[in-house]
Amino acid sequence: MALHNLKITVIDGGSVRGTGDSIRPKAQREKKDDPRDSKLYKALHLNSAIKDKIQKEFQLSPMAMMGIMGGVGIAKQIGRQWMQFYLSDIGRRHGDSNYQAMIGRRMEVAGDVLSVGGGMLSGAAAGSIFGIKGAIIGAAIGGISAGVSIGFRQMDRQRSYAHQMFQENTSQAYGLARANFSALTGRLR
């Protein structure tokens, strides 16, 4: 029976990111060997890469970063809700529901344009890790993605409208047939 030396290492804790940096020796954690500095990692973890860069640039604590991110989110929510509240009352104030529908449609078109623009910006931001060509390709992919979403929504609306018109025309034809409406019977209106 042979005796073997057995070494047990217990590590308590870990890194802030939870990637187990404290397990690797310091030599492996050097900047040149860190996989988190690769462009692919940054592209796949874009939100955390942006937060890390902002935190390093402005030397913010995690609590300050959380406060800033929360403040930006609340400001965006208040802005959207205020616009929705203000625009939803225009038709009632003026007594014109068609006017309200026109305003709603214009706001929807503006939202669609902003959606495509936002898709292009986020695609460009993700692709910018790979240089100017990556930013251009990312912007194109983001714009196409947003455009496809809008296109399918519009096609669904067109299909719904065509079905509604079919139902109304069928109902009208049925009502006329039941009333025995013709040029010889009944009166023309």
The CA distances from residue 123 to 51, 118, 162, 170, 172, in Å, are 17, 8, 35, 47, 50
Residue pair 168/151 in contact (Cβ under 8 Å)? The answer is no
Pick 66 or 23 by higher pLDDT: 66
DSSP, residue by residue, 108-156: HHHHHHHHHHHHHHHHHHHHGGG-HHHHHHHHHHHHHHHHHHHHHHHHH
Q: Is 57 exposed, middle or buried (0-12, 13-18, 19+ CB in 10 A)?
A: exposed
For the stretch 8-35, pLDDT in tens is: 777 665 544 445 455 555 555 555 567 7
Mean pLDDT estimate for the chain: 79
Maximum separation of any 2 CA atoms in the chain, in Å: 115
Residue 183 confidence class, pLDDT cut points 50, 70, 90: low
The CA distances from residue 186 to 170, 171, 174, 178, 179, in Å, are 20, 19, 16, 12, 8
Instruction: Name residue, tokens 């623009």.
Output: 117
Closest CA to 139 of 162, 151, 123, 163: 123
Q: Compute the average pLDDT of residues 53-65.
A: 79
Structure tokens at 165: 């018109």
Structure tokens at 178: 């039941």
Residue 165 confidence class, pLDDT cut points 50, 70, 90: very high
For the stretch 97-138, pLDDT in tens is: 888 888 888 888 888 888 898 889 888 888 877 888 988 998
Which residues does 72 contact at the CB level (< 8 Å), separation at least 6? none
User: In terms of pTM, does the model score above 0.75?
Assistant: no
